[in-house]
């Protein structure tokens, strides 16, 4: 079944104080996300990711077009009970403690009163905040707020979760934890839709991604599809000072650093190269495919129209 | 009242308490005890008059100020700080949010007024050593003051749904002041001619009629309040409040969040 259906959503803001000028944040967007997917919504800053999410959440109204989530309209409360949303740089009632906030939100989402406290505690543990549950949110760091934000988004066991830049403000450990959590959510059968401007976050995780730039969809598909066009190469690393001459013949360009050597070559020559190393009794350390990264795709996709405005952060 | 409105209302109350809004009661207590002691020393006959007038006027002004200053931020602060994102993406309808916010502040004001009323009665007991039968009209005066709170809260909410908090405060306060003289304005309208008459009468009926809701000096003079006025004021205040809250809802329903 289709989890999210976006049918020509379009948003034009009127900016300027005296003379209003229209500013197109999102051109008519058509796309679908299937149930059970982790879907990455990629684009540089200002691409229209947050605008799309706000439209889906009913926080702003579209200039035209519509969307359906789980087959229901965006303002349908029955649908809202089955989704979770983490806003970009979330901010919460800072006079509440993390536990109070979660219990309040559980109530608003229709979790029965008896279960609210248990559910909140579970969520605090799940996002690694069990020690901070009694602390007022005004004392939370940015990374902790991000965790609270994730907890409140999954608190009521939604079927579809929407995360806007879920890894921002987190340290590398935190990013990994969030990645693992999204993976768990998928294993629980949930649909995860998240936006990011950091490609590596999406690459390791997503079933499919969409790429958006200046409010326009530039590509959609699996990471493998989007990146397979590039020539596939592998990187070999081995130990030992020498480089077999047969390897050079295969087109490898070795880099020697102390006693380890690193070389990349075409995937087609991989087996021959490994065989050559074995013959010389050199210790193979790793063989890693070097796919064209999503980053390459990104650069390539964004280039044709204009030199990436503002750059990719 | 559905459970979501109740939750939002109680959270609003909790916010007010944690933001130390009820600390105004300390100032009020100081004012009342100071006044009681002072009046007790200087006069013998008019203590009751002074304590009731001063006490109830203070109850009303303290509450009005709180109603305006919290009322203007009820919704706009949540939009500004984006705390609304995680509320409105839940199964909460926008009108439920407004209703909950309104009730939370109204509840805060009622609780606040309750404690202040205890202060007034305590001061009254201190200066006159016993209650009189006519003191029950004080309760009616307090009830009318609470009706004023409802009106002013709904107006603050209404103005803040389309203008900046500062402008909303100015509008709400201006309406309070004009409304206090609503009856004079009607009288003036009746005497004037032409456009002035038209404007004055129109304005007099548009602003909330706080003259009718103010029976402080009347009860201070131990005059009873008619059942008819109680009924009329109740209906008037509820309708006025409901219209202002509905206005706020209508605007908020269409609003794009920042
Ligand atoms: N409330 C608004 N008023 C005017 N322009 C806006 C508003 N919100 C977003 N925009 C504009 O819309 C574009 C897309 O913004 P956004 O969706 O926040 O991008 P992203 O989340 O991908 O970084 C930007 O150019 C931004 O300036
Ligand atoms: Mg964004």
CA A264 – CA B218 distance, rounded (Å):
96
pLDDT band at B26 (very low <50, low <70, confident <90, very high): confident
Chain B positions touching chain A (beta carbons under 8 Å) = 3-4, 7-8, 11, 14-15, 18-19, 81-93, 254, 256-257
Contact B90 A81 (CB under 8 A): yes
Q: CB burial class (10 A; 0-12, 13-18, 19+) of residue A54?
A: buried
Query: What are the sequence ranges of the domains in chain A?
Result: 2-220, 233-289
Q: Would you write out chain A's pLDDT as a tens digit for each of its 313 residues?
A: 899 999 999 999 988 877 888 999 999 999 999 999 999 999 888 899 999 999 999 999 999 999 999 999 999 999 999 999 999 999 999 999 999 999 999 999 999 999 999 999 999 999 999 999 999 999 999 999 999 999 999 999 999 999 999 998 888 889 999 999 999 999 999 999 999 988 778 887 999 999 998 899 988 998 777 766 556 778 889 887 778 788 788 877 788 888 888 888 888 888 888 888 888 888 888 888 776 666 666 666 666 554 444 433 3
Q: One fold for both A2-220 and A233-289?
A: no
Contact A80 B90 (CB under 8 A): yes
Residue A258's pLDDT is 83
Residue A97's pLDDT is 97
Residue A231's pLDDT is 61
ipTM: 0.91
Please give the distance, rounded to the nearest whole angstrom, from the Cα atom of residue A51 to the centre of ligand 1.
6
Q: CB burial class (10 A; 0-12, 13-18, 19+) of residue B8?
A: buried
CA B53 – CA B42 distance, rounded (Å):
16
Structure tokens at A262: 């690193």
* Window from A8-17, B14-23, B126-135 with minimum mean pLDDT: B126-135
The conformational region for residue B143 under phi > 0 = left, psi -120 to 50 = alpha, else beta, is: alpha
Residue A310's pLDDT is 41
CA B106 – CA B151 distance, rounded (Å):
10
pLDDT digits (tens, 9 = 90+) for B102-123: 999 999 999 999 999 999 999 9
What class has domain A233-289? Answer: alpha beta
Contact B85 A105 (CB under 8 A): no
Q: Which fold has domain A2-220?
A: Rossmann fold (3.40.50)
Q: Which residue has the higher pLDDT, B204 or A87?
A: A87
pLDDT digits (tens, 9 = 90+) for B141-168: 999 999 999 999 999 999 998 888 999 9
Q: What is the DSSP letter of B248?
A: H
CB contacts, 8 Å: A151 with chain B: none
CA dihedral B185, B188, B193, B199 (to 10 degrees): -10
Q: Assess contact for A136 and A101: CB atoms under 8 A.
A: no
Task: Point out the residue among B3, B19, B88 whose CB comes nearest to the CB of A107.
Answer: B3
């Amino acid at each position: 079944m289709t989890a999210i259906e976006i049918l020509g959503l379009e948003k034009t803001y009127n900016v300027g104080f005296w003379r209003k000028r229209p500013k197109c944040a999102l051109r008519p967007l058509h796309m679908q996300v299937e149930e059970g997917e982790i879907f990455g919504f990629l684009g540089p800053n200002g691409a229209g990711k947050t605008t799309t999410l706000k439209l889906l959440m009913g926080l702003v109204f579209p200039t035209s077009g519509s969307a359906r989530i789980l087959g229901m309209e965006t303002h349908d409360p029955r649908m809202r009970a089955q989704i979770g949303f983490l806003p970009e740089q979330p901010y919460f009632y800072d006079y509440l403690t993390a536990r109070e906030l979660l219990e309040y939100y559980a109530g608003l989402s229709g979790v029965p009163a008896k279960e609210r406290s248990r559910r909140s505690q579970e969520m605090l543990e799940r996002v690694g905040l069990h020690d901070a549950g009694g602390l007022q949110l005004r004392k939370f760091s940015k990374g902790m707020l991000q965790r609270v934000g994730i907890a409140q988004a999954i608190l009521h066991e939604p079927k579809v979760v929407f995360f806007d830049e879920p890894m921002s403000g987190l340290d590398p450990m935190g990013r990994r934890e969030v990645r693992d959590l999204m993976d768990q959510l998928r294993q629980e059968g949930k649909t995860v839709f998240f936006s990011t401007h950091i490609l590596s976050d999406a690459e390791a995780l997503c079933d499919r991604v969409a790429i958006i730039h200046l409010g326009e969809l530039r590509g959609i598909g699996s990471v493998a599809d989007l990146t397979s066009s590039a020539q596939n190469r592998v990187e070999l690393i081995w130990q030992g000072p020498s480089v077999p001459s047969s390897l050079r013949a295969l087109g490898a360009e070795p880099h020697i650093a102390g006693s380890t050597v690193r070389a990349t070559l075409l995937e087609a020559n991989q087996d021959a190269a490994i065989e050559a190393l074995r013959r010389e009794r050199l210790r193979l350390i790793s063989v890693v495919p070097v796919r064209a990264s999503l980053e390459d795709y990104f650069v390539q996709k964004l280039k044709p129209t204009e030199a990436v405005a503002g750059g990719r952060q | 009242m559905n459970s979501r409105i109740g939750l939002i209302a109680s959270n609003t109350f909790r916010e007010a308490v944690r933001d130390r809004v009820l600390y105004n009661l300390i100032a009020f207590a100081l004012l009342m005890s100071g006044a009681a002691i002072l009046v007790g020393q200087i006069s013998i006959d008019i203590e009751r008059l002074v304590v009731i007038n001063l006490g109830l006027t203070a109850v009303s002004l303290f509450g009005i100020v709180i109603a305006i200053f919290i009322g203007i931020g009820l919704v706009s602060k949540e939009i500004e700080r984006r705390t609304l994102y995680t509320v409105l993406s839940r199964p909460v309808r926008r009108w439920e949010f407004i209703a909950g916010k309104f009730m939370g502040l109204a509840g805060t004001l009622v609780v606040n007024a309750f404690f202040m009323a205890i202060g007034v009665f305590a001061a009254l007991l201190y200066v006159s050593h016993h209650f009189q039968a006519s003191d029950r009209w004080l309760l009616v005066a307090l009830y009318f003051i609470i009706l004023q709170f409802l009106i002013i809260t709904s107006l603050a909410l209404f103005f803040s749904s389309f203008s900046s908090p500062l402008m909303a405060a100015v509008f709400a306060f201006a309406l309070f002041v004009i409304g206090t003289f609503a009856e004079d304005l009607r009288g003036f309208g009746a005497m004037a001619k032409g456009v002035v008459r038209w404007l004055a009468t129109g304005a007099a009926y548009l602003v909330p009629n706080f003259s009718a809701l103010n029976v402080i000096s009347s009860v201070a003079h131990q005059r009873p309040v008619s059942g008819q006025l109680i009924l009329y004021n109740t209906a008037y205040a509820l309708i006025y409040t409901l219209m202002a809250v509905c206005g706020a809802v209508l605007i908020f329903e269409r609003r794009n969040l920042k």
